A = this chain, B = another copy of it.
Amino acid sequence: MARELVLQDTPIVWKLNNFIPLQEDDLQELAKLLSKTREVSSHTDLLQEGGTNHHCYFLVEGWGCRYKLLSDGRRQIIDFPIPGDLLGYRSSLLRTRDHSFATITPAALAEVPANQLTQAIAETPRLGQALLWAVSRDEAIIVEHLVNLGRRTALERTAHFLLELGERLRLAGLVSDHNFSCPLTQDLLGDALGLSSVHVNRVLRQLRERELVTLRHKELVIHDTQGLRTLAGFDIGYLDQE
């Protein structure tokens, strides 16, 4: 009983409730999955491209990044998991992991064998549907990142990314108004947005000077949501909210 009360206000429950309200048996099953949590420091590698680890992780606390490296050191960040996100499930079905994952802040994670998760999804339909929805939505976000990299300018792209981040955090119950803490460096942003960190700096300056959004001292403030959305061509549909 105590456990459900604890879970109730947790980012993962916030996120899943957006798809379908979870009920008591769902929360109990979820609590079982999350029972074995593990604290790790920042910059800890948990999944390696090419590895055969068939676990997945619920990110309970902290931020991370999923990425791929090229042989000469270039890095592309796929996305930044935040609390409430499930990661590694899709790629656990492959014989070999297609990307790496590392934390970027201190974090708490629940490690779950992929087949245990599959079983839970089959046996607890409502929770299962919600988890599969969450996985699908996160794939839809990756597809939107593809559009971002391929067809938006640096300014649009950065604006779009920051808006998306705000919405994801809001959905996880981690932000109420237009401010939130954001531990991403300009280097990380560059590798996610396909830009050099120098150019990220210039773009952020522009966004600040246009009084749209400010990212400073790990704190992000959106001054003008509507203006930012217009600039980015942001259509929230792909986040499948409401």
Residues of A whose CB lies within 8 Å of any CB of B are 49-50, 68, 70-72, 74-76, 78, 90-91, 93-96, 98-99, 122, 129, 132-133, 136-137, 139-140, 142-147, 149-152, 191-194, 233, 235, 237-238, 240
What residue of chain B has the Cβ atom nearest to residue A156's Cβ?
A: B70
A147 and B98 CA atoms in complex are apart in Å by 12
Measured between beta carbons, the chain B residues less than 8 angstroms from A72 are: 233
Is the CB–CB distance between A142 and B140 below 8 Å? no
Most chain B beta carbons < 10 A, residue from A50, A91, A133, A193: A91
Q: Is the CB of B91 within 8 A of A136?
A: yes
Chain B nearest CB from A48 CB (Å) reads: 12
Contacts of A70 in B (CB 8 A): 147, 151-152, 233
Cα A175 to Cα B98 with chains together (Å): 25
Whether B136 pairs with A68 at a CB distance below 8 angstroms is no
- Chain B residues, CB < 8 A from A192: 150
CB distance from A144 to the nearest CB of B (A): 8
